[in-house]
Amino acid sequence: MQTVIGVRFKQAGKIYYFSPGALSVEVGNRVVVETSRGIECGSVVLAPREVEENPDKPLRTILRIATEEDFATLAENERKAKEAMKICEEKIAAHGLAMKLVNVEYAFDGHKILFYFTADGRVDFRGLVKDLASVFRTRIELRQIGVRDEAKLMGGVGGCGRPLCCATFLGDFEPVSIRMAKEQNLSLNPTKISGICGRLMCCLKYESECYCGGGCCGRKAKPAVKEPAQGSRVVTVEGDGKVISTNGQRRTATILLDNHRTIVASWEDVIEKSEDEGDIETLEAQAAQEEESAMETALESSEEDGSARSDRSERQERPERRNRPDRSGSRPNRERPRSGSPRDSRKRREGEGARDFRSKDRQRRPKGQSQGGERRSRDRRPRERGPRRSEDSEE
């Protein structure tokens, strides 16, 4: 175990840990320590405490408690920093650089001067550094910072009427997202949720854990209860309704009931309906749609079956028509002749027609007619039939 103290070099800067050594140090004392940037003077903000020793990161020991001479050196450095700022602004205007000087710091021992500036992009300040080095005859360092660091260094008053949090007590900048503003039901207007730096306000992070179900301000964390979604259907003691809005800080929900009444209920007294437990009207509408779709499917299938049956019946009727008996009472052969030309088939059909005609002629002929008339009647040319009958009658 080892004893450590917390030292801060700026009003709202980061806390660094040192070993007090054999000195007795209290909160509020000014001490002189050695850091990676050289000798610096800071204030003790954390009282001595015991922590486990880490051999990989040995702590540095404070050099001494600040004296009157150290306080005088700090005051002299502040006076020199103001003069250096005026000179640097004149040099920036002379070089025509697009940069804004924010702050100037002198090292405690005066071996280095730091100039903090902001710019939209990269700036070539090599000529400016040479001019400043020729004027101050010491090491010059220029650092480009962001808009948040600029607000932290310059300070100011926020929209709430209080000094900026980053300039008073915030040590580090924590990430802030627009989701935190949505969880707190804040207006998403950029002018209302942005600070003087133009970024999202750091105070959006303070109550984020409270809205997420965690504890804040030293209070005990409440059991996690699911927040009803805005626009969802819920069940309350006074009936079913729809969630209009929610208040995460008070853990309440504003609900519009089905009887057109508006109530405010806590999250614990509200049960959110699942998607499967929809209202009766929705279920009835779904059932009606399913029935209509089933009927349409059945009609389509019946139409398809009827068309298929009609096609099959037509196919079956066609061979029956072919097999019907002709006038003579005989059924034609179903099979086509495998051999023979179309001319033979035509002759065959003509012969059948002649036999039919002869049978009819025999029925109409009188009994005393000769056999020659029968032979002449077999002739296929009907034009010659009349004169041949007349010849038979003359004989």
Tokens representing residue 335 in the block: 């099979």
* Beta-bridge partners for 257: 241
Q: Could you give the CA distance from residue 187 to residue 207 in angstroms, rounded to a whole number?
A: 16
pLDDT (0 to 100) of residue 118: 92
- pLDDT tier at 87, thresholds 50, 70, 90: very high
pLDDT (0 to 100) of residue 270: 83
111: CATH: 3.30.300.20
Output the DSSP codes for 185-233: T----HHHHB-TTSSBPGGGGTTHHHHTT---TTPPPPPP-PPPPTT-E
Lowest-confidence range among 50-54, 208-212, 307-311? 307-311
Does residue 21 contact residue 62 with C-beta atoms inside 8 Å? yes
Does residue 279 contact residue 241 with C-beta atoms inside 8 Å? no
Please state at what angle helix 68-95 crosses helix 126-136, rounded to 10 degrees. Answer: 140
Sheet strands side by side (includes 100-106):
100-106, 112-118, 139-144
φ/ψ (deg, to 5) at 265: -130, 150
pLDDT (0 to 100) of residue 89: 92
Structural domain includes residue 319? no
Tokens representing residue 63 in the block: 């050099």
Structural domain includes residue 29? yes
Q: Could you give the CA distance from residue 183 to residue 180 in angstroms, rounded to a whole number?
A: 5
Task: Please identify, among 26, 41, 66, the residue that sits at the C-terminal boundary of a domain.
Answer: 66
Structural domain includes residue 239? yes
Q: Residue 132: which domain range?
A: 73-145
Can you tell me the mean pLDDT for 332-352? 53
Alpha-carbon separation of residue 200 from 153, 171, 204 (angstroms): 18, 17, 8
Structural domain includes residue 161? no
Query: How many domains does the chain divide into?
Result: 3
Task: Please identify, among 145, 163, 198, the residue that sits at the C-terminal boundary of a domain.
Answer: 145
Q: Which residue has the higher pLDDT, 228 or 287?
A: 228
The number of residues making up the chain comes to 395
Does residue 244 contact residue 257 with C-beta atoms inside 8 Å? no
Same domain for 90 and 29? no
| Tens-place pLDDT, residues 265-275 | 888 888 887 65
Structural domain includes residue 134? yes
Same domain for 83 and 26? no
Q: Which residues contact 37 (CB under 8 A, 6 or more apart)?
A: 107, 112
Same domain for 23 and 59? yes
Structural domain includes residue 33? yes
**Per-residue b/e over 73-86, b at no fewer than 16 CB within 10 Å?**
beeebeeebeebee
Does residue 62 contact residue 31 with C-beta atoms inside 8 Å? yes
pLDDT at 338 exceeding the cut of 80 = no
Same domain for 61 and 82? no
Does residue 244 contact residue 256 with C-beta atoms inside 8 Å? yes
Q: Could you give the CA distance from residue 219 to residue 230 in angstroms, rounded to a whole number?
A: 27
Same domain for 84 and 40? no
| Tens-place pLDDT, residues 193-233 | 888 888 899 888 887 777 665 555 445 455 567 788 888 88
| Residue entry with tokens 């296929």 | 380
Helix ranges, the chain (H): 68-95, 126-136, 147-154, 165-168, 178-183, 190-193, 208-211, 280-322, 342-364, 371-377, 385-394
Exposed, middle or buried, 66 (CB in 10 Å: 0-12/13-18/19+)?
middle
Exposed, middle or buried, 23 (CB in 10 Å: 0-12/13-18/19+)?
middle
Alpha-carbon separation of residue 297 from 284, 293, 303, 308 (angstroms): 20, 6, 10, 17
Structural domain includes residue 102? yes
The mean predicted confidence, pLDDT, of the chain is 76
Same domain for 42 and 78? no
* pTM of the complete model beyond 0.75: no
Lowest-confidence range among 1-5, 13-17, 209-213, 237-241? 209-213
Same domain for 93 and 43? no
Same domain for 60 and 79? no
Task: Please identify, among 10, 44, 66, the residue that sits at the C-terminal boundary of a domain.
Answer: 66
Structural domain includes residue 352? no
Alpha-carbon separation of residue 194 from 25, 102, 167, 186, 212 (angstroms): 41, 21, 16, 12, 22
